[in-house]
Amino acid sequence: MPSKSIDHAFNASELTGAASDPTYAGALSFMRRPYRKDVAGADAVVWGIPFDAAVSNRPGARFGPQAIRRASAIFDNDPQYPFDRDLFAEFSVVDYGDCLLDYGNHQETPDRIEAEAGRILETGAFLFTLGGDHYITWPLLKAHVARHGPLSLVQFDAHQDTWDDDGKRIDHGSFVARAVREGLVDPDTSIQIGIRTHAPEDFGIQIIYGHELEEMRTGDVASRILARVGNRPAYLTFDIDCLDPAYAPGTGTPVAGGPSTAKMLSILRQLRRLDIRGGDVVEVSPPYDHADVTAIAGASVAMYTLGLMAERRAIERS
C-alpha cells in the first residue's frame, strides 16, 4: 500500500489535504484532521465537549465526541458526497481535542467552556463543537456572541429548550429561553425545525413542527430557514434527537415521529447561503446507540456543516 499512511492526525505536516489512513485503523481525530492546540492558520476547528450532567433523562452524551470521531473515519480519503470535492484541499481544519471539565464542580463548567471557546474564536477560525448534551450550547453562544454580536439561532431539535430557570441551573432544556432573555439570540430571525414537544413559551421563535416537517419538501424547509434568517449571522445547533429514534436511537430524550437522516442532511445541504458563524451537534449518547447509527448521523451533520463552510470559503477566495 504505497499510497497509504497511518495516524495522519499526528503525522500530518500540513493543515490541508486528505488523509489516507485505513478506515479501520489509525488515530481517530475528526475526519483524520491534525490534532493541534495551536490553531494558527486554521480555517475551522473541531472541538469536543464531553459533558452530560445537565440531562433530564438518559445520560451518556459525554461519550458523544469519541463516538462521532470514530464514526467519521468512514469519510476518509474520497471526495465527500454530496460536495464532490476533497473538503480539505484548500480548507484547513484541525481537531482541537476535548474540553477539560471537572466532573465534581459542574458550576465551573459554563465558564470553562466559554473561556476556551473564546480563545479559539480569537484566532478567527470557525468553531464546530461535538457534544455533549445541549446545555453546552449556552456557553458556546456566549462566546460566539462576544465575537460576532447577537445571532440568529437555527435549531434542529425535537424540543424547544425554552423551559424557565433561575439563570443558574445546569439544564439542557432551558438554554434557548436564557439566550433570548439575555439578548444573545434574536427570536425574530430564529427558527426551530422538527419540534415534537410542547414548552411554556416560544419567545416568538418560528417553529416548524414535526408533523409539518413530515409533509414538506426539503427545498421548502430550507427556503423557510433562509427566509427567516436572511443575511444575518447565525448559529446552527443540531440536537440529534431531531431525528426519529429509528435513525438516532442513541440519544437521551428520544421522541417518535421525527424525520429521517436523509431528509435532514438534504436540508442542511441547501443552506449554503446561510451565514453560519458557529455550530454544534449534540446529544449523541453511545450507550443507547446500535451499530453506530446515531454516531454516523452526528458525524454526517458535522461533515455537512464543514462542507458548507469549505464551499463558502472557496467562493470568497475565487
Cα(183)–Cα(206) distance, integer angstroms? 17
Segment 89-139, tens digit of pLDDT: 999 999 999 999 999 999 999 999 999 999 999 999 999 999 999 999 999
Query: Among candidates 45, 230, 56, 49, which has minimal Cα distance to 138?
Result: 49
pLDDT of residue 3: 63
Strands (E) in the chain, as ranges, are 44-49, 93-98, 126-131, 152-156, 191-195, 206-209, 234-239, 276-282
Non-local (6+) Cβ contacts of 16 within 8 A are: 88, 89, 90, 91, 92
Checking if the pLDDT of 277 tops 90, the result is yes
Three-state DSSP state, 181 = helix
93-98 and 44-49 beta bridge pairing: parallel
Checking if the pLDDT of 233 tops 50, the result is yes
Checking if the pLDDT of 1 tops 60, the result is no
Domains (range + CATH), the chain: 8-317 (3.40.800.10)
Q: For residues 69 and 48, is the Cβ–Cβ distance under 8 A?
A: yes
**Is 8 among the annotated ligand-binding positions?**
no
Residue given cell 449571522 in the structure block: 233
**Is 157 among the annotated ligand-binding positions?**
yes
**Is 202 among the annotated ligand-binding positions?**
no
Cα(273)–Cα(280) distance, integer angstroms? 18
Segment 22-50, tens digit of pLDDT: 889 999 999 999 999 999 999 999 999 99
Q: What's the mean per-residue pLDDT of the chain?
A: 95
Segment 155-171, tens digit of pLDDT: 999 999 999 888 788 88
**Is 161 among the annotated ligand-binding positions?**
yes
Checking if the pLDDT of 77 tops 80, the result is no
